[in-house]
Amino acid sequence: MSFGGVRMSVETETPAVTAKEKPKPRPRRKLTLVQRLKRDKVMILLAAPGLLYFLVFHYLPMLGNIVAFQDYQPYLGFLDSDWIGLENFTDAFADPRFWSAVTNTLVIALVQLVFFFPAPIALALLLNSVLSSKIRRFVQSVVYLPHFIGWVIIVSIFQQLLGAAGLLPNVLDAIGLPRYDMMTDPDAFPWLVTLQLVWKDMGWGTIIFLAALLSIDPQLYEAAAVDGASRWRRLWHVTLPGITPIIILLLILNLGNILSVGFEQLILQRDNVGAAAGEVLDTYVYFNGIQNGEWGPSAAIGIVKAIFGTALILGANKLAHFFGHEGIYRGADK
């Protein structure tokens, strides 16, 4: 579920509880640390594997970033590789392919922002206007499905639909137009990946907006209708204001993720259009670092990206707070 880390929670109907009498509040007293540990030992033990996981797999790798300051050669290891200061950073910044990756990343992110982001909103509005819950459920269960399909499968399918020997060129051919292969056209690449994203996640993205639409008080509609507001005016004056906060929130959080455009999706298709159009920051780090063995400079790019990415996410959260919403980290502990 990729709403830029927006917090979602699972609701169910509250279990029917035969509410016993509330236990009387016990008088509070200060416990010693030992007493508290004893009281909480089961809870702490349960959380411990998770803690260990996060420390080992999210914090420990940070140490690996030292290779960004080395002429790292894996067969020499951390200890025997030469320290070269900031040379990797200057090398990376001097590499035109890095800047081309930055440009591609931003272009793809922008195209997705303009053409993918509104898609679920539109579909949600459409679904919301469908009165028959049967139809609505049916459409929902169909459009949620592609979200669960992996990128390898999706790219395989698109290859058959749009690829050189695929459906689209055949159709074009049949109606007398020149064959066109969208899969390998570098100019079309941002549009291609956006189209794939729309296919995969447009439906899934509606969940959050449908929930927001459901929370709009129906009396508002009724009142507006009684006042003579038309269908479109109600959409404009009741529906949209009702979901504007959530749109703004998601938009902001999306901006926070602008440096990370779908990694698996792009790594599978980069070679179809060549690095000049298909390389984004993450694939640059992979291809340059792991395939070409440029460990140091790639780790350096990784650090720069992580710093900018974190700053963007923090900034986005601040902005979200400014608009009166909670971000991902504040208030998670309530």
Partner 1 sequence: MPASRRDLLRTGLGVAAVGALGTPLLAACGGGDDAGGGSSNAGVTLPNYIPFAGPTPDLPASGEVPPGYYTYPKSLVRSVSGTPLAGGTVKATTMTFLPIPPPRGENGAWTEVEKRLGGTLDLTIVPASDYDAKFNTTVAGGDLPDMVLYSAGLNNVPQFAEATCVDLGEYLAGDKVAEFKNLAAIPTVAWQNCVIGGKLYALPICRNITGGSGFVNMRFFKELGIEDHTRLAANADEFFEVAKKLTDPGKDRYALIKFASTTLFAHMFRVPNNWRLDGGKLVAARETPEYKEAVAFIRKLHDAGVFYPGSEGFTGVQRGNAFTAGQVAMIYDGLPAYAGHWTNLRAQHADNDPRPFIPFGHDGGEGVCWQDNIMLAYTFVKKADKEKVKEVLRVADFLAAPFGSEEYELLKYGVEGTHFTKDADGNPVPSDLGTRELTVPWDKLAANPPVVYNATGGKQYTDYAHQALSSLLPIALPDPTVGFRSETQDRDGTKIAQPFNDLVKDIVNGRAEVSAIDAALDEWRAAGGDKIRGEYENAIAGK
Partner 2 sequence: MKGSTVALTSKRPAWMERPTWYGLSLKGLALGFIVLAVLYPFVSVVATSLSTDREIVANGGLVIWPTDPTLDAYRVIFAGGDVTRALVNSLFVASIGTVASVCATVMMAYGLSRRGVTGGRFILMIALFSMLFGAGIIPNFLLVKELGLYNTFAALILPGLISAFNFIVLRSFFMGLPSELLDSAKVDGAGDLRILLRIVLPLSKAPIAVVSLFYAVGYWNAFFNALLYLDDTEKWTLPLILRLYVLQGQPMAQGEAFAGDVPPPQLAIQMAVVVVALVPILLVYPFLQRFFTKGVLSGAIKG
Report the interface residues with partner 1, using CB under 8 A: 73-77, 95-97, 163-165, 169, 173, 178-181, 183-184, 186, 270-276, 287-288, 290-295
Least Å from the CB of residue 84 to partner 2: 16
Q: Residue 27 binds which entry of partner 2, partner 1, none, with Cβ cut-offs from 5 to 8 Å by kind?
A: none
134 interface partner picked from partner 1, partner 2, none, CB below 5 to 8 A per type: partner 2
Query: What is the phi/psi pair of residue 70, to 5°?
Result: -125, 160
Residue found under tokens 């969208």: 182
Extract the tokens encoding 118.
């509104």
| AA letter at 270 | R
276 binding partner (options partner 1, partner 2, none; Cβ < 5 to 8 Å by kind): partner 1
Nearer to partner 2, 20 or 85 (CB): 20
- 137 makes contact, choosing from partner 2, partner 1, none, with CB < 5 to 8 Å by partner type, with partner 2
Q: Least Å distance between CB 298 and partner 2?
A: 6
What's the full length of the chain, in residues?
Answer: 334
CB of 302 to partner 2, least distance (A): 3
Rounded Cα gap, residues 207 and 18, in angstroms: 32
Return the CA Rg of the chain.
26
Q: Which does 241 bind (CB under 5 to 8 A by kind): partner 2, partner 1, none?
A: none
Of 186, 187, 195, 191, the closest CA to residue 158 belongs to 195
Residue with smaller CB distance to partner 1, 97 or 147: 97
> Which CB sits closer to partner 1, 108 or 183?
183
- How far, rounded to the nearest angstrom, does the alpha carbon of residue 289 sit from its chain's CA centroid? 24
List 83's β-bridge partners, or say none.
70
Task: With CA atoms as reference, report the closest residue to 163 among 180, 183, 179.
Answer: 183
Give the one entry of partner 2, partner 1, none that residue 157 binds, where binding means its C-beta sits below a cut-off of 5 to 8 angstroms depending on kind: partner 2
Find the shortest distance in angstroms from Cβ 157 to partner 1: 16
| C-beta closer to partner 1: residue 81 or 239 | 81
Cα–Cα distance measured from residue 90 to residue 296, given in angstroms and rounded to the nearest whole number: 11
Output the six-digit token pair for 10.
């699972």
Joined tokens for residue 155: 């790219």
Q: What is the dihedral of CA 218, 224, 229, 234, to 10 degrees?
A: -40
In angstroms, what is the minimal distance from the CB of 70 to partner 2? 11
If the CB atoms of residues 95 and 264 are measured against partner 1, the closer one turns out to be 95
Based on CB atoms, which residue is closest to partner 1, 201 or 294?
294
